[in-house]
Structure 1
Amino acid sequence: MAHLTFQQEYMQMPPVTRAYTTACVITTILVQLDIVSPFQLYFNPILIFRHYQLWRLLSTFLFFGTIGFNFLFNMIFTYRYCRMLEEGSFRGRTADFVLMMVFGGACMLVCAMFCSVLFLGPAFTIMLVYVWARRNPFVRMNFFGLLNFQAPYLPWVLLGFSVLLGNSILVDLVGIAVGHIYYFLEDVFPARSGGIRLLKTPRFLVQLCEPRNEDPNYNPLPEERPGGFLWGERPQEEQQPQQQQ
Protein backbone atom coordinates (compact mmCIF):
# COMPACT_ATOMS: atom_id res chain seq x y z
CA MET A 1 0.00 0.00 0.00
CA ALA A 2 1.39 3.36 -0.98
CA HIS A 3 2.43 5.64 1.82
CA LEU A 4 0.15 8.59 2.43
CA THR A 5 1.62 12.01 1.81
CA PHE A 6 1.85 14.53 4.63
CA GLN A 7 -1.10 16.43 3.15
CA GLN A 8 -3.24 13.28 3.07
CA GLU A 9 -2.28 12.42 6.64
CA TYR A 10 -3.04 15.97 7.71
CA MET A 11 -6.45 16.04 6.05
CA GLN A 12 -7.39 12.71 7.64
CA MET A 13 -7.17 14.27 11.09
CA PRO A 14 -10.60 15.03 12.57
CA PRO A 15 -11.52 18.70 12.14
CA VAL A 16 -11.35 19.97 15.72
CA THR A 17 -8.05 18.22 16.42
CA ARG A 18 -6.62 19.50 13.14
CA ALA A 19 -7.71 23.08 13.83
CA TYR A 20 -6.40 23.20 17.40
CA THR A 21 -3.03 21.52 16.81
CA THR A 22 -2.45 23.62 13.69
CA ALA A 23 -3.15 26.81 15.62
CA CYS A 24 -0.69 25.72 18.33
CA VAL A 25 2.07 24.93 15.83
CA ILE A 26 1.56 28.15 13.86
CA THR A 27 1.62 30.23 17.04
CA THR A 28 4.86 28.59 18.15
CA ILE A 29 6.47 29.14 14.74
CA LEU A 30 5.47 32.83 14.78
CA VAL A 31 7.09 33.21 18.20
CA GLN A 32 10.17 31.28 17.07
CA LEU A 33 10.56 33.65 14.10
CA ASP A 34 10.12 36.71 16.37
CA ILE A 35 7.03 37.76 14.45
CA VAL A 36 4.96 37.51 17.63
CA SER A 37 6.14 37.92 21.19
CA PRO A 38 4.97 35.71 24.09
CA PHE A 39 4.16 38.99 25.87
CA GLN A 40 1.40 39.46 23.31
CA LEU A 41 -0.10 36.05 24.04
CA TYR A 42 -0.22 35.45 27.77
CA PHE A 43 -3.38 35.74 29.86
CA ASN A 44 -3.71 39.15 31.48
CA PRO A 45 -7.17 40.17 32.78
CA ILE A 46 -6.26 43.86 32.93
CA LEU A 47 -5.18 43.98 29.29
CA ILE A 48 -8.22 41.94 28.27
CA PHE A 49 -10.95 43.84 30.06
CA ARG A 50 -9.47 47.35 30.18
CA HIS A 51 -7.62 47.46 26.88
CA TYR A 52 -9.85 45.00 25.00
CA GLN A 53 -7.05 42.64 23.96
CA LEU A 54 -9.58 39.86 23.62
CA TRP A 55 -7.31 37.59 21.59
CA ARG A 56 -5.51 36.72 24.83
CA LEU A 57 -8.54 34.65 25.84
CA LEU A 58 -7.57 32.27 23.04
CA SER A 59 -3.83 32.76 22.61
CA THR A 60 -3.12 31.62 26.16
CA PHE A 61 -4.18 28.11 25.06
CA LEU A 62 -2.03 28.11 21.91
CA PHE A 63 1.51 28.69 23.18
CA PHE A 64 3.44 25.83 24.77
CA GLY A 65 6.85 27.48 24.81
CA THR A 66 9.62 27.68 22.25
CA ILE A 67 10.41 24.65 20.13
CA GLY A 68 12.16 22.01 22.22
CA PHE A 69 11.49 18.83 24.16
CA ASN A 70 8.86 20.42 26.38
CA PHE A 71 6.95 21.73 23.36
CA LEU A 72 7.15 18.42 21.46
CA PHE A 73 6.09 16.45 24.54
CA ASN A 74 3.02 18.63 25.06
CA MET A 75 2.06 18.65 21.39
CA ILE A 76 2.31 14.86 21.07
CA PHE A 77 -0.06 14.35 23.99
CA THR A 78 -2.35 17.17 22.87
CA TYR A 79 -2.69 15.70 19.39
CA ARG A 80 -3.03 12.11 20.55
CA TYR A 81 -5.69 12.52 23.21
CA CYS A 82 -7.61 15.25 21.42
CA ARG A 83 -7.84 12.94 18.41
CA MET A 84 -8.75 9.84 20.41
CA LEU A 85 -11.53 11.71 22.19
CA GLU A 86 -12.87 13.19 18.95
CA GLU A 87 -12.81 9.81 17.20
CA GLY A 88 -13.86 7.83 20.26
CA SER A 89 -16.54 8.87 22.72
CA PHE A 90 -17.24 12.06 20.72
CA ARG A 91 -17.39 10.38 17.32
CA GLY A 92 -20.30 11.88 15.38
CA ARG A 93 -20.78 14.47 18.16
CA THR A 94 -18.44 17.23 17.08
CA ALA A 95 -20.65 19.90 18.64
CA ASP A 96 -20.48 18.16 22.02
CA PHE A 97 -16.70 17.98 21.70
CA VAL A 98 -16.49 21.69 20.92
CA LEU A 99 -18.73 22.39 23.91
CA MET A 100 -16.38 20.41 26.16
CA MET A 101 -13.42 22.46 24.93
CA VAL A 102 -15.26 25.76 25.37
CA PHE A 103 -16.51 24.78 28.83
CA GLY A 104 -13.06 23.60 29.89
CA GLY A 105 -11.38 26.69 28.52
CA ALA A 106 -13.85 29.00 30.27
CA CYS A 107 -13.30 27.24 33.61
CA MET A 108 -9.53 27.53 33.20
CA LEU A 109 -9.76 31.22 32.44
CA VAL A 110 -11.70 31.75 35.66
CA CYS A 111 -9.08 29.76 37.58
CA ALA A 112 -6.27 31.75 35.94
CA MET A 113 -7.72 34.98 37.29
CA PHE A 114 -7.10 33.74 40.82
CA CYS A 115 -4.01 31.55 40.29
CA SER A 116 -1.88 33.91 38.17
CA VAL A 117 -1.39 31.32 35.42
CA LEU A 118 -0.11 32.92 32.23
CA PHE A 119 -0.36 30.11 29.67
CA LEU A 120 -3.09 27.48 29.83
CA GLY A 121 -2.10 25.18 26.95
CA PRO A 122 -0.55 22.49 29.20
CA ALA A 123 -3.59 22.62 31.50
CA PHE A 124 -5.84 22.13 28.47
CA THR A 125 -3.81 19.08 27.46
CA ILE A 126 -4.13 17.56 30.92
CA MET A 127 -7.89 18.12 30.79
CA LEU A 128 -8.12 16.15 27.54
CA VAL A 129 -5.98 13.37 29.01
CA TYR A 130 -8.08 13.28 32.18
CA VAL A 131 -11.40 12.94 30.36
CA TRP A 132 -10.02 10.22 28.07
CA ALA A 133 -8.48 8.36 31.00
CA ARG A 134 -11.70 8.36 33.05
CA ARG A 135 -13.65 7.06 30.07
CA ASN A 136 -11.14 4.26 29.48
CA PRO A 137 -10.43 3.05 33.03
CA PHE A 138 -9.30 -0.47 32.14
CA VAL A 139 -6.70 0.45 29.50
CA ARG A 140 -3.16 -0.48 30.54
CA MET A 141 -0.54 2.22 30.02
CA ASN A 142 3.20 2.07 29.54
CA PHE A 143 5.13 5.28 30.11
CA PHE A 144 8.73 5.53 28.88
CA GLY A 145 8.96 1.77 29.13
CA LEU A 146 9.35 2.16 32.90
CA LEU A 147 5.88 2.45 34.41
CA ASN A 148 2.82 0.25 33.90
CA PHE A 149 -0.48 1.48 35.29
CA GLN A 150 -4.18 1.83 34.58
CA ALA A 151 -5.34 4.77 32.45
CA PRO A 152 -6.92 6.82 35.30
CA TYR A 153 -3.44 7.30 36.79
CA LEU A 154 -2.06 8.84 33.60
CA PRO A 155 -2.85 12.50 34.45
CA TRP A 156 -1.00 12.12 37.74
CA VAL A 157 1.96 10.47 36.06
CA LEU A 158 2.10 13.37 33.60
CA LEU A 159 1.88 15.82 36.48
CA GLY A 160 4.87 14.17 38.14
CA PHE A 161 6.84 14.17 34.89
CA SER A 162 5.95 17.82 34.31
CA VAL A 163 7.38 18.68 37.73
CA LEU A 164 10.60 16.86 36.81
CA LEU A 165 10.82 19.08 33.73
CA GLY A 166 10.66 22.11 35.99
CA ASN A 167 7.09 23.15 35.17
CA SER A 168 4.64 24.56 37.67
CA ILE A 169 2.45 21.97 39.38
CA LEU A 170 -0.36 24.53 39.53
CA VAL A 171 -0.98 24.44 35.76
CA ASP A 172 -1.48 20.67 35.71
CA LEU A 173 -3.67 20.78 38.81
CA VAL A 174 -5.94 23.29 37.08
CA GLY A 175 -6.25 20.95 34.11
CA ILE A 176 -7.02 17.94 36.31
CA ALA A 177 -9.60 19.88 38.32
CA VAL A 178 -11.41 21.17 35.23
CA GLY A 179 -11.28 17.73 33.61
CA HIS A 180 -12.87 16.21 36.71
CA ILE A 181 -15.60 18.87 36.78
CA TYR A 182 -16.51 18.09 33.19
CA TYR A 183 -16.38 14.33 33.76
CA PHE A 184 -18.61 14.64 36.83
CA LEU A 185 -21.19 16.89 35.13
CA GLU A 186 -21.29 14.85 31.92
CA ASP A 187 -20.73 11.22 32.99
CA VAL A 188 -21.38 10.89 36.73
CA PHE A 189 -24.16 13.24 37.80
CA PRO A 190 -26.64 12.42 34.96
CA ALA A 191 -26.34 8.71 35.81
CA ARG A 192 -27.34 9.23 39.44
CA SER A 193 -30.88 8.97 40.68
CA GLY A 194 -32.58 12.26 39.88
CA GLY A 195 -29.53 13.49 38.01
CA ILE A 196 -29.82 15.50 34.81
CA ARG A 197 -27.42 16.51 32.09
CA LEU A 198 -26.46 20.09 32.83
CA LEU A 199 -24.18 20.65 29.84
CA LYS A 200 -26.54 20.82 26.90
CA THR A 201 -25.10 21.67 23.50
CA PRO A 202 -26.81 24.72 21.91
CA ARG A 203 -28.72 23.99 18.72
CA PHE A 204 -26.74 26.57 16.72
CA LEU A 205 -23.52 24.76 17.63
CA VAL A 206 -24.99 21.43 16.52
CA GLN A 207 -26.01 22.96 13.18
CA LEU A 208 -22.60 24.59 12.79
CA CYS A 209 -20.69 21.38 13.53
CA GLU A 210 -23.06 18.92 11.86
CA PRO A 211 -20.84 16.09 10.56
CA ARG A 212 -20.61 15.59 6.83
CA ASN A 213 -20.41 12.30 5.00
CA GLU A 214 -17.25 10.51 5.99
CA ASP A 215 -14.56 9.31 3.60
CA PRO A 216 -14.87 5.49 3.36
CA ASN A 217 -11.07 5.30 3.30
CA TYR A 218 -10.80 7.28 6.54
CA ASN A 219 -8.74 5.43 9.13
CA PRO A 220 -9.50 6.78 12.62
CA LEU A 221 -7.28 6.41 15.65
CA PRO A 222 -9.45 4.33 18.00
CA GLU A 223 -9.91 5.66 21.48
CA GLU A 224 -9.39 2.23 22.97
CA ARG A 225 -5.68 2.28 22.14
CA PRO A 226 -3.38 2.77 25.13
CA GLY A 227 -2.49 6.41 25.30
CA GLY A 228 1.09 6.12 26.59
CA PHE A 229 3.87 5.74 24.09
CA LEU A 230 6.51 3.08 24.66
CA TRP A 231 9.19 5.77 24.84
CA GLY A 232 12.59 4.35 24.03
CA GLU A 233 11.21 0.85 23.62
CA ARG A 234 11.19 -1.13 20.38
CA PRO A 235 7.64 -1.91 19.18
CA GLN A 236 6.79 -5.60 19.27
CA GLU A 237 3.76 -7.00 17.54
CA GLU A 238 3.63 -9.99 19.84
CA GLN A 239 3.46 -8.03 23.07
CA GLN A 240 0.65 -8.75 25.46
CA PRO A 241 -2.63 -6.94 24.64
CA GLN A 242 -2.13 -4.37 27.36
CA GLN A 243 1.16 -3.22 25.78
CA GLN A 244 0.07 -3.06 22.17
CA GLN A 245 0.12 0.30 20.43
Structure 2
Amino acid sequence: MAYQSLRLEYLQIPPVSRAYTTACVLTTAAVQLELITPFQLYFNPELIFKHFQIWRLITNFLFFGPVGFNFLFNMIFLYRYCRMLEEGSFRGRTADFVFMFLFGGFLMTLFGLFVSLVFLGQAFTIMLVYVWSRRNPYVRMNFFGLLNFQAPFLPWVLMGFSLLLGNSIIVDLLGIAVGHIYFFLEDVFPNQPGGIRILKTPSILRTIFDTPDDDPNYNPLPEERPGGFAWGEGQRLGG
Protein backbone atom coordinates (compact mmCIF):
# COMPACT_ATOMS: atom_id res chain seq x y z
CA MET A 1 0.00 0.00 0.00
CA ALA A 2 2.79 2.42 0.88
CA TYR A 3 4.52 1.67 -2.42
CA GLN A 4 1.30 2.19 -4.39
CA SER A 5 0.60 5.49 -2.61
CA LEU A 6 4.15 6.68 -3.25
CA ARG A 7 3.94 5.61 -6.88
CA LEU A 8 0.63 7.40 -7.40
CA GLU A 9 1.96 10.54 -5.72
CA TYR A 10 5.06 10.42 -7.93
CA LEU A 11 2.96 10.05 -11.09
CA GLN A 12 0.84 13.04 -10.04
CA ILE A 13 3.89 15.30 -10.47
CA PRO A 14 3.61 17.01 -13.88
CA PRO A 15 5.95 15.52 -16.50
CA VAL A 16 8.65 18.17 -16.87
CA SER A 17 9.03 18.70 -13.11
CA ARG A 18 9.05 14.94 -12.57
CA ALA A 19 11.67 14.31 -15.25
CA TYR A 20 14.03 17.09 -14.16
CA THR A 21 13.81 16.42 -10.42
CA THR A 22 14.26 12.67 -10.97
CA ALA A 23 17.29 13.26 -13.20
CA CYS A 24 18.88 15.47 -10.53
CA VAL A 25 18.28 12.92 -7.76
CA LEU A 26 19.54 9.99 -9.87
CA THR A 27 22.65 11.92 -10.91
CA THR A 28 23.47 12.73 -7.29
CA ALA A 29 22.81 9.11 -6.28
CA ALA A 30 25.16 7.89 -9.02
CA VAL A 31 27.90 10.21 -7.74
CA GLN A 32 27.23 9.19 -4.13
CA LEU A 33 27.55 5.50 -5.11
CA GLU A 34 30.76 6.33 -7.02
CA LEU A 35 29.32 5.07 -10.30
CA ILE A 36 30.37 8.38 -11.84
CA THR A 37 32.35 11.38 -10.62
CA PRO A 38 31.62 15.13 -10.76
CA PHE A 39 34.60 15.42 -13.11
CA GLN A 40 32.52 13.63 -15.74
CA LEU A 41 29.63 16.06 -15.34
CA TYR A 42 30.93 19.61 -14.96
CA PHE A 43 30.75 22.35 -17.59
CA ASN A 44 34.00 22.62 -19.53
CA PRO A 45 33.87 24.37 -22.93
CA GLU A 46 37.13 22.83 -24.11
CA LEU A 47 35.99 19.28 -23.36
CA ILE A 48 32.60 19.99 -24.93
CA PHE A 49 33.68 21.62 -28.17
CA LYS A 50 37.13 20.10 -28.73
CA HIS A 51 36.59 16.61 -27.34
CA PHE A 52 32.87 16.41 -28.16
CA GLN A 53 31.76 15.55 -24.62
CA ILE A 54 28.35 16.98 -25.46
CA TRP A 55 26.64 15.42 -22.44
CA ARG A 56 28.25 18.06 -20.23
CA LEU A 57 25.82 20.62 -21.68
CA ILE A 58 23.09 18.75 -19.79
CA THR A 59 24.80 17.07 -16.84
CA ASN A 60 26.13 20.33 -15.39
CA PHE A 61 22.48 21.25 -14.70
CA LEU A 62 21.80 17.96 -12.87
CA PHE A 63 24.38 17.89 -10.07
CA PHE A 64 23.93 19.98 -6.92
CA GLY A 65 26.79 18.60 -4.87
CA PRO A 66 26.97 15.66 -2.44
CA VAL A 67 23.99 14.67 -0.33
CA GLY A 68 23.67 17.16 2.51
CA PHE A 69 21.91 20.35 3.54
CA ASN A 70 22.78 22.24 0.36
CA PHE A 71 21.51 19.41 -1.84
CA LEU A 72 18.28 19.06 0.16
CA PHE A 73 17.70 22.82 0.15
CA ASN A 74 18.13 23.05 -3.61
CA MET A 75 15.97 20.01 -4.31
CA ILE A 76 13.10 21.37 -2.22
CA PHE A 77 13.15 24.69 -4.04
CA LEU A 78 13.66 23.09 -7.45
CA TYR A 79 10.77 20.67 -6.98
CA ARG A 80 8.40 23.17 -5.41
CA TYR A 81 8.79 26.09 -7.81
CA CYS A 82 9.26 24.02 -10.94
CA ARG A 83 6.04 22.20 -10.12
CA MET A 84 4.12 25.35 -9.23
CA LEU A 85 5.15 26.95 -12.52
CA GLU A 86 4.13 23.88 -14.51
CA GLU A 87 0.81 23.63 -12.68
CA GLY A 88 0.22 27.38 -12.72
CA SER A 89 1.10 29.70 -15.57
CA PHE A 90 2.29 26.80 -17.75
CA ARG A 91 -0.74 24.58 -17.13
CA GLY A 92 -1.63 22.97 -20.48
CA ARG A 93 1.47 24.58 -22.05
CA THR A 94 4.09 21.88 -21.63
CA ALA A 95 5.85 22.83 -24.87
CA ASP A 96 6.19 26.45 -23.68
CA PHE A 97 7.63 25.20 -20.38
CA VAL A 98 10.17 23.00 -22.17
CA PHE A 99 11.07 25.96 -24.38
CA MET A 100 11.70 28.07 -21.27
CA PHE A 101 14.04 25.32 -20.04
CA LEU A 102 15.90 25.34 -23.36
CA PHE A 103 16.05 29.14 -23.56
CA GLY A 104 17.25 29.50 -19.96
CA GLY A 105 19.77 26.68 -20.34
CA PHE A 106 21.13 28.20 -23.56
CA LEU A 107 21.62 31.64 -21.99
CA MET A 108 23.28 30.19 -18.89
CA THR A 109 25.60 28.08 -21.04
CA LEU A 110 26.46 31.17 -23.08
CA PHE A 111 27.24 33.18 -19.94
CA GLY A 112 29.10 30.16 -18.57
CA LEU A 113 31.66 30.59 -21.34
CA PHE A 114 32.78 33.85 -19.74
CA VAL A 115 32.59 33.06 -16.02
CA SER A 116 34.15 30.29 -13.98
CA LEU A 117 31.04 28.26 -13.21
CA VAL A 118 31.20 24.50 -13.52
CA PHE A 119 27.67 23.56 -12.37
CA LEU A 120 24.62 25.61 -13.32
CA GLY A 121 21.79 23.73 -11.61
CA GLN A 122 21.47 26.22 -8.76
CA ALA A 123 21.32 29.13 -11.20
CA PHE A 124 18.59 27.28 -13.09
CA THR A 125 16.61 26.84 -9.88
CA ILE A 126 16.90 30.56 -9.13
CA MET A 127 15.64 31.28 -12.65
CA LEU A 128 12.53 29.18 -11.99
CA VAL A 129 11.98 30.90 -8.63
CA TYR A 130 12.40 34.32 -10.26
CA VAL A 131 9.86 33.68 -13.02
CA TRP A 132 7.35 32.25 -10.54
CA SER A 133 7.84 35.18 -8.16
CA ARG A 134 7.28 37.78 -10.88
CA ARG A 135 4.13 36.03 -12.06
CA ASN A 136 2.78 35.85 -8.51
CA PRO A 137 3.69 39.32 -7.19
CA TYR A 138 0.99 39.48 -4.50
CA VAL A 139 1.85 36.21 -2.77
CA ARG A 140 3.23 36.80 0.73
CA MET A 141 6.20 34.66 1.65
CA ASN A 142 7.64 33.40 4.92
CA PHE A 143 11.28 32.31 5.02
CA PHE A 144 12.31 30.02 7.89
CA GLY A 145 9.69 31.75 10.03
CA LEU A 146 11.99 34.78 10.26
CA LEU A 147 11.20 37.00 7.29
CA ASN A 148 7.90 38.03 5.76
CA PHE A 149 7.90 39.58 2.30
CA GLN A 150 6.15 39.50 -1.05
CA ALA A 151 7.09 36.97 -3.71
CA PRO A 152 9.23 39.20 -5.99
CA PHE A 153 11.79 39.54 -3.18
CA LEU A 154 12.27 35.76 -2.84
CA PRO A 155 15.21 35.41 -5.30
CA TRP A 156 17.04 38.21 -3.51
CA VAL A 157 16.38 36.66 -0.10
CA LEU A 158 17.82 33.38 -1.41
CA MET A 159 20.87 35.23 -2.68
CA GLY A 160 21.35 36.82 0.75
CA PHE A 161 21.03 33.39 2.34
CA SER A 162 23.73 32.05 0.00
CA LEU A 163 25.95 34.96 1.03
CA LEU A 164 25.41 34.15 4.72
CA LEU A 165 26.45 30.55 4.04
CA GLY A 166 29.68 31.79 2.48
CA ASN A 167 28.74 30.80 -1.07
CA SER A 168 29.43 32.83 -4.19
CA ILE A 169 26.46 34.91 -5.31
CA ILE A 170 27.51 34.79 -8.97
CA VAL A 171 25.33 31.72 -9.46
CA ASP A 172 22.30 33.47 -7.93
CA LEU A 173 22.89 36.62 -9.98
CA LEU A 174 23.10 34.53 -13.15
CA GLY A 175 19.79 32.84 -12.35
CA ILE A 176 18.12 36.18 -11.60
CA ALA A 177 19.50 37.75 -14.79
CA VAL A 178 18.35 34.90 -17.03
CA GLY A 179 14.98 34.74 -15.27
CA HIS A 180 14.51 38.47 -15.80
CA ILE A 181 15.42 38.25 -19.48
CA TYR A 182 12.85 35.50 -20.00
CA PHE A 183 10.17 37.31 -17.98
CA PHE A 184 10.77 40.58 -19.83
CA LEU A 185 10.69 39.02 -23.30
CA GLU A 186 7.70 36.79 -22.53
CA ASP A 187 5.52 38.84 -20.18
CA VAL A 188 6.53 42.51 -20.39
CA PHE A 189 7.77 43.50 -23.83
CA PRO A 190 4.92 41.93 -25.88
CA ASN A 191 2.41 43.99 -23.85
CA GLN A 192 4.16 47.31 -24.42
CA PRO A 193 2.99 49.73 -27.16
CA GLY A 194 4.59 48.46 -30.33
CA GLY A 195 5.90 45.40 -28.54
CA ILE A 196 6.13 42.04 -30.27
CA ARG A 197 6.49 38.48 -29.07
CA ILE A 198 10.13 37.54 -29.60
CA LEU A 199 10.06 34.16 -27.89
CA LYS A 200 8.03 31.69 -29.93
CA THR A 201 7.90 28.03 -29.06
CA PRO A 202 8.93 25.91 -32.09
CA SER A 203 6.08 23.92 -33.59
CA ILE A 204 8.05 20.69 -33.20
CA LEU A 205 7.97 21.11 -29.41
CA ARG A 206 4.20 21.63 -29.53
CA THR A 207 3.81 18.48 -31.61
CA ILE A 208 5.87 16.45 -29.14
CA PHE A 209 4.74 17.81 -25.78
CA ASP A 210 1.32 19.45 -26.02
CA THR A 211 -1.78 17.29 -25.67
CA PRO A 212 -5.27 18.48 -26.66
CA ASP A 213 -6.95 17.45 -23.42
CA ASP A 214 -6.07 18.01 -19.78
CA ASP A 215 -5.38 14.99 -17.62
CA PRO A 216 -8.57 14.29 -15.60
CA ASN A 217 -6.44 12.87 -12.77
CA TYR A 218 -4.36 16.04 -12.50
CA ASN A 219 -3.69 17.02 -8.87
CA PRO A 220 -2.03 20.45 -8.54
CA LEU A 221 0.38 21.29 -5.75
CA PRO A 222 -1.34 23.90 -3.55
CA GLU A 223 0.47 27.21 -3.31
CA GLU A 224 -0.96 27.71 0.16
CA ARG A 225 -0.68 24.97 2.74
CA PRO A 226 -0.98 25.12 6.53
CA GLY A 227 1.99 24.16 8.65
CA GLY A 228 4.95 22.22 7.27
CA PHE A 229 8.23 23.77 6.29
CA ALA A 230 8.30 27.48 5.62
CA TRP A 231 11.22 27.73 3.20
CA GLY A 232 9.50 30.12 0.87
CA GLU A 233 5.96 29.12 1.77
CA GLY A 234 3.42 31.53 0.35
CA GLN A 235 -0.01 32.92 1.03
CA ARG A 236 -1.99 35.08 -1.34
CA LEU A 237 -2.91 38.55 -0.16
CA GLY A 238 -6.58 38.79 0.65
CA GLY A 239 -6.82 34.98 0.82
TM-score over 0.5 for the pair: yes
How far apart in 2 are the matches of 1:15 and 1:216?
A: 15
| Partner residue in 2 for 1:26 | 26
* Greater Cα offset, 98-107 or 205-214: 205-214
Aligned to 1:237: none
Amino acid at match of 1:108: M
* Distance in 1 between residues matched to 2:68 and 2:237, nearest whole Å: 28
- Does the CA-based 8 Å contact 2:139-2:235 persist in structure 1? no
Q: Where do 4+ consecutive residues of structure 1 move more than 6 Å?
A: none
Secondary structure of the residue aligned to 2:114 is helix
1:189-209: CA deviations, max 9, x gaps?
000001011000111100000
- What 5-or-longer segments of structure 1 have no aligned partner? 234-239
C-alpha contact 2:224 2:236 (8 A) present in aligned 1: no
Q: Partner residue of 2:203? A: 203
Across the two proteins, how many residue pairs are aligned to each other?
236
Q: CA deviation at 1:223?
A: 5.2
Q: Distance in 2 between matches of 1:128 and 1:79?
A: 10
Q: Distance in 1 between matches of 2:238 and 2:9?
A: 22
Name the counterpart of 2:166.
166
Displacement of 1:116 after TM fit? 1.1
Shift of 1:230: 1.9
1:57–1:109 contact (8 Å) kept in structure 2: yes
Code of the aligned partner of 1:171: V
Which runs of no fewer than 5 residues in structure 2 stay unpaired? Answer: none
Q: How much is the aligned-residue C-alpha RMSD, in angstroms? A: 2.5
Listed as ranges, the matches of 1:154-193 within 5 Å are 154-193=154-193
Change over 3 Å in CA distance of 1:141–1:124 after alignment to 2: same
Question: What is the CA–CA distance in structure 2 between the aligned matches of 1:214 and 1:187, rounded to whole Å?
Answer: 24
Using a 3 Å threshold, how does the CA distance of structure 1 residues 212 and 68 change in structure 2: closer, same or farther?
farther
For the residues of structure 1 that align with 2:133 and 2:235, how far apart are their CA atoms?
A: 18
Per-residue deviation, 1:225? 7.1
| Equivalent AA in structure 1 for residue 19 of structure 2 | A
Percent identical residues: 70
3-state SS of the aligned residue for 1:194?
coil
CA distance in 2, matches of 1:40, 1:180: 31
Can you list the C-alpha shifts for 1:159-186, whole angstroms capped at 9, x where unaligned?
A: 1111222221101100000000000000
Query: What's the counterpart of residue 67 of structure 2?
Result: 67
Q: 1:44-193 counterparts in 2 under 5 A?
A: 44-193=44-193
Separation of aligned partners in 1, 2:238 and 2:39: 42
* Cα distance between partner residues in 1 of 2:191 and 2:225: 26
